[in-house]
Each structure stands twice: as structure tokens, then as C-alpha cells.
Chains A and B, each alone.
Chain A
């Protein structure tokens, strides 16, 4: 089959699944609606693989599905798909991880009354995400961007009866809107400047622009604001930890593996544009570096198993952003891929733990679960080692590459990132040991009922664990292999500007990594296998208290933005609106209503009056003609 045909197989089944589950969901049995939901991502994955194996994509394909509308711009805005290697890689991640998480969800959500609603949202999310990575113009990309935002909002607040969860959903929505404002302004400016919203057309017209052109800097900064919102960078990252209120598969799919990497994808997609703005690249790198260290340090002291993973996600997104900032786009995408594997794995394994403990999420009440959940324990260990950067697991190669790229650009950024990866190893091993080793600290009733999850949950975990082990080999550094698959794969899609680092540096980095990892493993083993409940509570004092309270960022935001805005809002509502706007708005309203009532008698039902008015109207036109012409 041709790519033109296969692309339909990727796009539409998820939308169809959403419609079926959304409209008839309540009438379907749980197994049918779960099956229907899984069809979409599986078909998508098969079609993506077929494209990969049968279609030589030496140059990007632009497949127009239909003309959408053509107003205002010189070229019509098409509903069209842009198919190149970057899109293909993202499609692999989305449909592959998506399939696994759909299968997992069937087991995880089986007792939930909103089963079909959950799958409807999940399919809609996949559709929007696919739209986002395949859209050939920024309007379509933005449609997907907003679609995933909407689904994220719906799924965070999935258990909408809990007001806390609704609050978290609202927070995510608002924070994303701030970013989206920047993004859409950026699109408008691009459309004005290049008279087109097609990504290819925009990239073609770069030739005449000089580096650091002020308009380009403005546009890229605005786009990056959008990235900050979606990919949870400082200062817009606080929504992501709260987003963990949603069901765990959602956290794994949307808030770790796919949606939050949309921002990274956007920058990589527009890499030619960003290469023209070194200033913006610097901003991106430093934002990424600071995000990485701040989030990693907060994660050190969190006790909620999902919160730790959430902050870890923010921190890893910081790594990706800093790779973008040093124009190592393919490295960032490589990390997106490996991160999708091991972070989805960690979230799903955490979900398996939560499932086994009947909803318990606090590590204070865990410990010693190794004996109860053998498979979960093993895959969690693999995930932990992968994210901590233990060779030769997936995270090691991608993170190593980011560190090397940043080092070649800016040594200070490298040092900060290195510290962040020490923190990463620490909080992950702390999480691992206090969950699976030592003595159980919760109540005995839960312990007696603690159980390993069913196979439908374990199967995706095993697949992801396997991918976390081998995923890194797709991008081995030069000193091991001359073949960097990911870089070679993406070389037509993104334009990297990286400097090489010396082999000596690489080797030193590896050696230090191994030694530090070993030391941290030893220290955390000592500390967290014998830890007690009281120890956890004692931790929250002094500097640790600062971390435990997330640098009081939520409180600071509340004091700086929310409170003044609320006060301003209530002033507007009570005084400005009631006595100002309302009064003014009511005047035309009342005029129109009055006019409506006054004119009503004209329609009297009296035929002779109707005839006279027709004649009068006709006469008026005739007179107009006589006097004017």
C-alpha cells in the first residue's frame, strides 16, 4: 500500500473509536468497548511499521487530504499530512506506547463505572496527538495541540466527583492556556511574515533572513512560551505534578510519554527557524537546565510515589529542552524516545503497585513489596536503573549524549545538569528501596490483601522493560559504534549544530557516572531499607522542608499572581462590571428589546395594511432610484 492510503489507517480509527465509545459507550459491555479502543492504536502502529518498511522516505511527503479553507492567505490551508522521519518516529512512540497503555488500562480500569468514557477520551487524545505530529501546517498542529490539552483536562478531572482533582484539571488547563496564547501569537506573526502557515513553505523562505533578526527572535520566544506550557518548563511547570490526579495510565501516556513531549517536537520540527535565533536557543537551554535541577531537587523529598515520578518527568523534560537549546535536536528526540519507554514503564509499574495496594500512593506506608510483587519489582528496578543512567540501559545513552552536547556548548550548564543527574539517581533509588525493600510500614490488613497484578497489566510492563533495556542501542556514541541510528534517521528532518567532544571526556564521564551511581546505590540502600515512618516525617525540616514544600512555588505563584488577580477580578466583577459595563451594555439591549416590542403592532394580521406597506416600500425604492440616478 502507498503512504497515502496508510495514513488514513493511522488517522481515523482512533477518531472512530472515540465516536463509538463516546456515543454508544453506555450500551457496550466493558470488553467490547475496551477492544474497540485498542483497535485504533494497534492499526496505527501496524500502518506506521508498514510505512517504515515499504515506503522509502528520502524526502518528506506532503499528503493533502482535503482543502480545508482558503481565506486571507495566499495559499489555501489544507487538511494535509506531512510525513518525514521525525513524524514517523513520533508516530512509532505514540502508537506503540499508546497500544501498550490501552491494553494496560483494560486491566487497570476494569472496576471503574466510567470505563467507556475513559477509553473514549483516551482515543480522542491519541487522535489529537497523531494530528499534532502529522499536521503539515501550524493551524492543524495547533488544532491537535488544543485537542491534547482538552483531553488532558478531561482525564485529569476524570474522577470529577473529587473537587481536588477538578482543581488540578483547572490548573493544568489555565497554565496551558498561558502557553497557548504565546503559541497562537507566534503562529499569527509567522502567518503575517511568511504569508503562509505551511511548515515547509515557512522553512523555504528563510533564505533571506539574517541571524538574530528581531522578528524571528520574537516569534521563536512566543513559540517557546507555548512549549513551556505544554512541556512543563519553568515557570509554567507546576501543573504537571498536580496532573497526577488522573488515573495512572493517563499519567503514563499523556503526562510522561507523549503529550508533554509535544513542545520538544514543535521545536525540533521548526529547527531551521530556531537555528536562526541563537538568543532564543540560549534562553531555551537555560530554562531547561534550571527546570532540570529545580524539579530533580524537589523530587528528592516527595513521598507520593506518583509525585516523585511527576517531578522526575519535569526534570527529564528540562534535559530535553537543554538539548534543544544547544541545537542538538536529534539528541532531544532520542531522549523523548527512551524517556517514553522508561517513564511509561515506571508510571505503569507504580500503577501496578497502587493497584496491588488498593489505592495506597504514599511510600511512607510501603516497603518490602519485593516478596509480594515479583514481576512489578523487577520491571521497576529496570526502569529505575534506566532513568538513573546505568549503562547500558536506555537512559544512559540518551542522557550521556545530552550531557556531552551541553558540555561542548557551555560548561556551567553541564555542571548543573550533572548535579541534576546525581539527584535523579538519588530520588529514584530512594523510591525503589523504600517501596520494595525493608519492612512493610502500612497497616496489616492491606499487606494481607496486597497482590501481584493480573497479566493484562504485567504484559505491557514486560514489553516496556524490554524496550528500556535495548532502547538505548539505537543511539550509541561514536566511541562504540559508527552508526547512530536515531541521528541518521532524522538527518533529513532536523538540522543539528553540535560540536564534537573528545573521547577522553566521554570516557571520564562514563567512569564518573558509574562510580557515583555505585556510591548512591550504597548510601540509599543503607538508608532506605531500614527507614521508618518517623524518619519520613523528620525529613521535612530545614532545607529539606524547603524541598518538601516544592520551594513554596505554588504559594509564591498564589501570592504574586493568583491573589492580586483575584482581587482585581472581584473589583471588576463587583464594581466595574455591575456599575460600568453592565449599565452600558444594557442600553443597546434595552433599545433593541423596546424596538422589538414597538414594532410588533406593525405585524397586525391586517391584510390591507400589509398591502399598503408593500406599496410604500416599493415607492420608497422607486423614489430612491428617481432621485439618486
Chain B
């Protein structure tokens, strides 16, 4: 629990640093804070754990989920410096809020008590509502923020309703509460909680907010939403299903299959005709979430690693994509397909890293995305759900169309060439993510052993 204390301290410290004129300190301080928190998990620090009365658990999968969340944050934080170039004064606020949101994320992936889950979701979400509206000059940013807030509140209500029913059935908020009888009411509460979490992850049919909000949000925070929020949501779902799933085995199996299938089918079809790359990536994220959900079909302790592998592969690739989109937006002021035309001739580095990331998202061989899909589908095939595997594969092939359409656009020749480059630290982060993607595609067992 030390990590939560560290994050709170550093987030507050960063907010106070905002008072000073010198903003050079903000980035190092926030990165150090996140890195320290990560170190706590790496070294399996158990200091002050008893303060939380066993409402949280930081062992096993929760620990890995937390490390993934913090690692993603480390990659995103440096990019907040971009706001400084625009002359925005709120850099400290953004960094601070991002770190606060991590506390929510960690609570979501390690709760043992639904109170903590609800607190975590709210901490994460409220920070995200504000970050979605970070660009106050653009009306679309404010619109995204408001939309996210209203729909998020709606989803929180659903979740809270589910938790209340759970309490009514078991007179406890704890995940491991004794179930007296498997009543209709209890199952309804499970369904409501599942829906609430599916909203955060953006799974069909609870996904409607995602494309609109992703598009309006400043792209750096879209990257945060697509990665940190999704990983936290899946972490919460993992905790929920691994301890409550036993009570609802068979229909849960159907529920997961249906939601996964719906997400893959609907999102891939919707993604085909999008002109805005951010919207396309939003739908792609929904489809990827469907794939990850397939991993929940065979959820025993030794089978957690395909889910986490997929999450890492997805997070790395979509981080690269969104951050690349951010830089293109800076140049051409929109995120349409046409803005990417001839990117290879203007900024070859960005075009290449983004192509690698898109190929990984599409599941191209020699990238982490391929191995991730292979592991997850192999898992589903083991529990005998061949039909789902076949459908997933068909739509994975379909998804290649819109990924390669963008790659094709980037490499097609455009007449007005004005070369530009991105600064080295940013390029270093993007390159590292891409190299990681390729290494995990060639030697997946390196990463798998790390997760195990």
C-alpha cells in the first residue's frame, strides 16, 4: 500500500509545484513518483498493508496489472510537456491529475471489497472527465468531457445499483462473502456490476461513449483513456470474475462469448468507414477489448497470462498510434485520413513506428499482436469454443483492411513534402515501444516468463 501513499504524496507535490514559475521540475518529479510506486510493486513491498483491513490485495495478478498501469503512465507523462509548447499553464494540474488517476486504477485492479472498487472507479473517472476537457479552447474537448461525465455517471449508477443488490443478498461488500443462496437477485447484481465495468472498458453494447469522447479529448489523454482506463477496467473485471465467476459459471460463459463477439463484429464493421483516425482507433480499441474478453473464457490462475500479454501488446501498440496521431495533429490540425498522406516522406520515423504499431494491432506476424491473438484464441479453442474462434479470426482479417488503409496512406506519395521531426526523448519512447513489440513477437516467451 506504500505505493498509493507515494502516488498521493507526489501528485500533491506536483500540484504545488504548479505555483512556481519554473516548470522544469514537474516532469522529473512526477516520473520519479510513478517509478517509486512501481518499485514498491517490483520489490513486493508489504509495508502498511494492514491499514486497509484486507480490502485490497496486491499479490498475484493484481500486482502485474498495477505494474502495467504504472509503466504505461511512465510512457505518457513526458508527453504532457507538449502542453507547455502550446503555452498552456496547466501542466502541473494535468500531471497531478494523471497521477491521481493511477491511484484509482490501482484500487480497481486490487480490490477485495466493492467499496474500494467504487472508490477506485470514481477516482479514475473524475480525473479522466477533467483531462478530457483539458483543451479549453476547443469546444469539442469540452463536449467530450461533458459527454463522458454524464454517461460515466450513468454507468456508475448502474454499478452502484449492482453493488447495492449484492449487499442485499450477502450483507457484505466483500468479494469473498458467503453466498447463502444463488438467487435471481444476486445474478441481477452480477449482471449490473458486469455492465458497469463493461462501460469503463467500452465493450459493445456499452461502448457508445468511446468514439465521441476519444475524438474530442486531447490526443495525449485519449492515449491515457485507451490504455490506463482499459487495463484498469480489465483488472477489475478479472478480480470480479475470478472470485464471483464460480457462482454463475455457465451463463457467464455465454455472456462473455456474446459480448466479445458483439464487440469484435460491431466495432470492426464500424471502424471500416471512419474518416477520423482517432475514431477508427477507438473502434479498434473496442474490437481489441473483445479479443481480450475471449481470454476470460478459460479463467484459471495459470491461464491469466494470455490476458496480460494481450493487454501489454495492445497498450504498447495503441500508445504508439495515439501519440503518433498527436504529432500529426500538431502539424495538420486534424486527424483525418488525408492528414496522414505521404507521412513517410515527411517524417519517416513516425510513419515506420506507427506502421509497426498498426500491424501489431492487426495481428501481423513477428509482432506482439500476433502472438497475443494466438495465445488468446488458443485459450478459447481449449474450452471448445471453436465457433467464436472462427468468427474472431474472420473479423481479425477484416480489421487488417482499415489498418493497412492507413499504412497505405502514410506510404503513398504526396506532392507537398515538408520534412519535420519529433524531439529525441519522444522518439526514444516510441522506438522503445516498437522494439518491445517486435521482440515480444519474435520471442514471446521472454515476456510470458516475466508475467508468470
Contact = CB atoms under 8 A, between A and B. Distances in A.
Interface of A: 66-71, 79, 592-593, 595-597, 599-600, 603, 605, 607, 610-611, 613-614, 616-618, 620-622, 624-625, 628-629
16 contacts: A67-B445, A69-B444, A69-B445, A71-B378, A592-B272, A596-B270, A603-B208, A611-B151, A613-B205, A614-B195, A617-B204, A617-B205, A621-B195, A624-B258, A629-B250, A629-B251
B185 interface: no
B269 A592 contact: yes
Nearest to B273: A596
Interface string B183-198: 0000110011001000
Given A68-B443, A603-B211, A614-B154, A597 B273 contact: yes
B413 interface: no
Choose among A69, A70, A617 the residue with the greatest number of B CB atoms under 10 Å from its CB. A617
Interface string B151-182: 10011001000000000000000000000000
Nearest to B444: A69
Contacts of A621: 191, 195, 255, 258
B191 A622 contact: yes
B337 interface: no
Given A71-B378, A618-B158, A629-B251, A595 B208 contact: no
Interface in B203-232: 204-206, 208-209, 211-212
Contacts of B191: 618, 621-622, 625
Contacts of B204: 617
Contacts of B398: 592
Contacts of A613: 205, 208
B29 interface: no
B446 A603 contact: no
A614 B205 contact: yes
Given A79-B443, A624-B254, A596 B269 contact: yes
Choose among B188, B199, B212, B446 the residue with the greatest number of A CB atoms under 10 Å from its CB. B212
Contacts of A603: 208, 211-212, 270
B266 interface: yes
Nearest to B268: A592
B167 to A, nearest CB: 20
Contact of B251 (A595, A607, A628): A628
B254 A628 contact: yes
A605 B212 contact: yes
A599 B255 contact: no
A74 B270 CA distance: 41
A546 B209 CA distance: 77
B422 interface: no
B195 A610 contact: no
B199 to A, nearest CB: 7
A618 B158 CA distance: 10
B25 interface: no
Contacts of A617: 195, 204-206
A611 B158 CA distance: 11
B374 interface: yes
B212 A68 contact: no
Given A607-B147, A613-B205, A614-B154, A68 B445 contact: yes
B195 A618 contact: yes
Contacts of B5: none
A79 B195 CA distance: 44
A618 B212 CA distance: 21
B150 interface: yes
Contacts of A66: 443, 445-446
A63 to B, nearest CB: 16
Choose among A593, A605, A610, A622 the residue with the greatest number of B CB atoms under 10 Å from its CB. A610
A628 B191 CA distance: 14
Contacts of A595: 269
Choose among A593, A600, A616, A618 the residue with the greatest number of B CB atoms under 10 Å from its CB. A618
Contact of A600 (B155, B187, B209, B273): B273
Interface of B: 147, 150-151, 154-155, 158, 187-188, 191-192, 195, 199, 204-206, 208-209, 211-212, 250-251, 254-255, 258, 266, 269-270, 272-273, 371, 374, 378, 398, 443-446, 449
Nearest to B194: A621
Contacts of A68: 443, 445
A251 B250 CA distance: 65
A158 B13 CA distance: 60
Contacts of A625: 187, 191, 251, 255
Given A592-B272, A603-B211, 13 more contacts: A67-B449, A69-B444, A607-B151, A610-B208, A611-B154, A613-B205, A613-B208, A614-B151, A614-B155, A614-B208, A622-B191, A628-B251, A629-B251
Contacts of A593: 272-273
Contacts of B378: 71
Contacts of B371: 69
B298 to A, nearest CB: 15
B200 to A, nearest CB: 12
B79 to A, nearest CB: 25
Nearest to A620: B205
A620 B262 CA distance: 13
Nearest to B395: A592
Contacts of B443: 66, 68, 79
Contacts of B147: 607
Choose among B199, B208, B378, B446 the residue with the greatest number of A CB atoms under 10 Å from its CB. B208
Nearest to A603: B211
Nearest to A600: B273
Contacts of B446: 66
B40 to A, nearest CB: 29
A607 B150 contact: yes
Contacts of B208: 603, 610, 613-614
B402 to A, nearest CB: 10
A620 B199 CA distance: 16
A593 B271 CA distance: 10
Given A68-B443, A596-B270, A629-B250, A622 B158 contact: no
Contacts of B255: 621, 624-625
Nearest to B272: A596
Contact of A71 (B150, B272, B374): B374
A621 B258 CA distance: 9
B151 A610 contact: yes
A620 B154 CA distance: 18
A584 to B, nearest CB: 16
Contacts of B187: 625, 629
B270 A600 contact: yes
A604 to B, nearest CB: 9
Given A593-B272, A599-B266, A610 B188 contact: no
Nearest to B251: A629
A592 B399 CA distance: 11
A205 B376 CA distance: 33
Contacts of B272: 592-593, 596
The 7 A-B pairs with the shortest beta carbon distances in the complex, nearest first, are A617-B205, A67-B445, A610-B208, A596-B272, A596-B273, A629-B251, A596-B269
Choose among A69, A79, A614 the residue with the greatest number of B CB atoms under 10 Å from its CB. A614
Contacts of B154: 611, 614
B257 to A, nearest CB: 11
Contacts of A622: 188, 191
A592 B266 CA distance: 10
B270 A599 contact: yes
Given A592-B398, A629-B251, A610 B445 contact: no
Contacts of A616: 205
B306 to A, nearest CB: 11
Contacts of A607: 147, 150-151
A144 B273 CA distance: 41
Contacts of B258: 621, 624
B295 to A, nearest CB: 15
Contacts of B188: 622
Contacts of B158: 614, 618
A582 B232 CA distance: 44
